[in-house]
Chains A and B, each alone.
Chain A
Amino acid sequence: MTALQASGFPEDLVRERARSGAAAVFPSATSYGTSLFGGSSSDSADLLESARLVPPVFVPRRLEKLIELGREPLYGDVSLSTSIGGFASSLPVYLSAFGSTQVAGAGLGAAASAQAGRLGIPMVIGENVVPVHGHGRAGGPSAGTLLERLRAYGDAVPDGLGGVVVQQSTEDADAEVWNLVYSDPSAASLLESGRLAFELKVGQGAKPGLGGMTLVSPSDAASLASLYAVDLTLGSSVLRSSSPGTFTPEILRQQIRLMRNNFPRAGVWVKLPPGRDVASAASVAWEAGADAVTVDGAEGGSGWTPLSFGPVGLPLGECLSRIGAPAGCLLASGRMWEGTRVAKVLALGARAAGLGRAALLAVDTDPESGLVRFAEALALELRLLLSALGQYQPDALTPEDVWFPGTSVPVREQVLS
């Protein structure tokens, strides 16, 4: 564990899950017999936090499961296996991208990769890793490189599960990250097993409209000046800014088509910022053939961000509402750390949720097994929640499973005839 902090994020709770796994899902066992337990009312400005999961009384899917099993189903009968952007996954979660930020580069990126591999969940490798840390072949340094993460993941992932998604932004195009990976022997096994995809980064949650930002030393700034804007001195460091990229519907459509044309054996993912036209952008992406569209809510992000960008961008819940019934595989990220939030986004149309800050904190807590234990806790919660909702697989959840207080959403009741 390092001095890694995540203010505004339930850091302590995440670290507890990384240490204790499933035990952290319940109140402390030592309090049993001496405390009274029950709900507490909490008001939250966060749309998703304020929403409630609402189990029905009548549960026809449970009856189906009962018939299948020949006994009453329990939470352990929930299967969390799913398909995420063309990859088989053991859980409806994936490891979100951490870019070239210092915290991800300091060994956490590789440790997170190895644990995501063990879990059999897809992993996204963030933008700017190659331009900043290098690819890692031909005798160069290995720490923090793309190759280090690919190897750590590939060595751990079980057959038939998971996949690696390599992100590229505008500056990455100069480094030809996708071409490099696609022609690299180290990625051959991923390609041959259909477990490689490329993600076009259109934007990000925490600072929609801006590109990636990191702080670098003045000496590094000089060497990066040909690739990035490095013109703002902040204390003893220099701000390195990526381009936000320029997109119109036609640019997005054609970039996706070009990805499919140039890398026919790789999947195509698209990451959208929480823009007001997010539904249109998602439609364009799916229509052009994207295998997955990730929406990063305004609550997302693990990187350096201007303070004034707190109230910029749509909350994730609003993004999902605007998209409605997705026309393809929809993924959601932004402040994902426990089961109810994940279950809510699944119910609102997402196929899976991305783990960003929570994954970094879990790995920071225990580089060997922190993320694995954290995911075990999350999986237990999801099984409990899905079972409570009368469902036994994640893609069976529907918007009816979520209620937004104060809204008069008509609920179509399911009644057994």
Chain B
Amino acid sequence: MSNAMRTPAGAISVERYQGAVAEGRFRRLWNANAPGYLFLLPWLVGFFGLTLGPALISLYLSFTDYDMLQSPRWVGMANYVRIATADPKFSAAMDVTLTYVVFSVPFKLTFALLVAMALNRGLRGLTVYRAIFYLPSLLGGSVAIAVLWRQLFASDGLVNAALSQFGIEGPSWISHPNYSIYTLVALSVWQFGSPMIIFLAGLRQIPQDMYEAASLDGASKFRQFYKITLPLLTPVIFFNAVVQTIEAFKAFTPAFIISGGTGGPINSTLFYTLYLYQEAFGNFRMGYASALAWILVVIIAIFTAFSFLTSRYWVHYDD
């Protein structure tokens, strides 16, 4: 190859020369790019085979009837129309999920921020407290914790035993449709550890001299919080809010375990992902479940876009 390049042009035919140049260009392109693409190969295979391909197929399936036994039958918009107009379980699932998001995320973030502020004072034992508050976040996704939670809020469970010491007779939280969702909210709030750690990191970014200047000017603690801490923390609050909300939309395991996979009582813990699972792997309505999946994606996308659009009015980046 390199010999051909060094041979004077006149010594070989024009065709062979052009061929050699083209081959040389190819070789150079190959040499420049091959290592990159070789390193990227596993990811590329995964991207096309496990992400892009399946996503396109899932979009197609959402317009079909598909039970995995017969090949998909095109039904146009029928799945989406049924979801929008004639599926009470969809509206129940949406209701449950939105309730969960609206209650769990603000409470979780408020706790996370309060505890982070309490810890951000140069206290002794900071690392021990931080570890204790973080532990539930790490264990939280497991079946064992969901099992434990089901017991805590059972009619003869610990929560009611504690309440009875104050002479209060608690309801059977888990099996009452009005309360069951809030036991799951409580579980989510209990896991405030990871947003708390992000808040702690954010609080450390705030220059101490701002507080010093403010207290010299006689600003109260509350005013310092309101005028310094909160505005400077808005990027972190925004980040935590977006991440936690998306996670809340995707919650599955606790609802599955606590309701025994049913989403009961009376659909009161029928999380969106649980309904999707039931349709796909319980009823084998793969087309319908694909439509449900795409609606979830659209909802998360709208929510995220909305957060980013409104963020410019309340999130302060200090440039």
The answer to whether A binds B is: no
Q: A interface vs B, CB < 8 Å?
A: none
